[in-house]
Structure 1
Amino acid sequence: MPDLSTLPAFAAYFGLGVLFLAIFCTVHLWLTPQRELALIRHGNQAAAISLGGALLGFVAPLASAMAHSVSLLDLALWGLVALIVQWLTHLTVRLLIHDLAAQIEADNRAVAGFAAVLALAVGVVNAAAMTW
C-alpha cells in the first residue's frame, strides 16, 4: 500500500507552482508588445519559439525553488525571484534587439531562437543559484 501522507504537501506545492506559471504567462503575454498567442494560432513559429523559451527559462528556477524550499512561503518568495529575473531577461533581450516585436511578428526564427536560448540560459543559471 503506497504511503500518501505527503499528498497534501505535494498538492500545495504543485498548486502554487501552477499558480506561478499562470501568473508568469499572463504577465509575460501582457508585457510583450506582440500578441504571441494570436501569432501562434496563425502558425508563427517565431512566436512559439520565443514564448516557449521564456516559459522554460521561468520553469527551470521555479522547479529548483520547489525542490529546495522549506515551506510554501519560501517557495513563494523564490518563485517571485524567478519571475523578476525572467522578466528582466526579457527586457534585456528587448534592449539587445530593438525591433524584437517586429522580428517575432515577421516570423524571424533566428531572433526568436536567440531570445529563447538566452531566456533558458538565464533560467538555468538562476535555477543553479537557488540550490545554495
Structure 2
Amino acid sequence: MELILQSLSGLTNFALYFIVSIALLFIFKIAYAFVTPHDEWKLVKEDKSDAAAIGFAGAMIGFSLALASAATNSTHLVDFVIWGIVALLAQLFAFGLLRFTFMPMIAERISNNETSAGIMLAGMSVAVGLLNAACMSY
C-alpha cells in the first residue's frame, strides 16, 4: 500500500501541469486562429478541408512537442507557463515565416483545400516544434 501512495504522491503536480497544458493548448488554438487569415475551424468543420485539418493538426502537434519539453525541463509551474508562452510565440513565428517568406500564398492555398500546402504547413510546424523543444532542454 505504501508503494501505491508513494507512486501517487506526484498526482497533484501532474494534475496542475496537465490542466495548465490543456489551457495553454486552448490559448494556442485561439492565438493561432487570430494570426492566420483563414478560419481553420470553419474550413475543417463546415468545408471539410483536408488541407486546413492537416496544417492545423501539425501546428497543434508542433506546439505540444515544445510544451512537453517545457513541462519536462521546467523547475516550477510559473517557469512552465513562461516557456509555454515562448513555445506559443515560436509556433506563431513559424507560421509567419512560412507565410511571408517561403510560401506567400499559403493561406489562400489552404482556403482552396490544396493538400500539399497543408502538408507543408504541418511539416514546418512540427519541425519548429521539435527545434523549439530541443532548445528548451537547456
Deviations 1:45-81 (A, max 9, x none): 0000010111111110100111111100110111111
Unaligned runs of 5+ in 1: none
> 2:95 aligned to 62, 66, 90, which one?
90
Normalising to structure 1: TM-score of the pair? 0.95
State the 4+ residue runs in structure 1 displaced beyond 2 angstroms: none
Partner of 1:119: 125
Give the root-mean-square deviation of aligned CA atoms: 1.0
Q: Distance in 2 between matches of 1:67 and 1:116?
A: 24
What's the offset of the Cα at 1:111? 1.2
* Count of equivalent residues: 132
For 1:20-59, what aligned pairs fall within 5 Å after superposition?
20-41=24-45, 42-59=47-64
Q: Distance in 2 between matches of 1:110 and 1:128?
A: 27
Partner of 2:76: 71
Unaligned runs of 5+ in 2: none
Deviations 1:30-52 (A, max 9, x none): 21111111111121100000101
> Percent same amino acid at aligned positions?
36
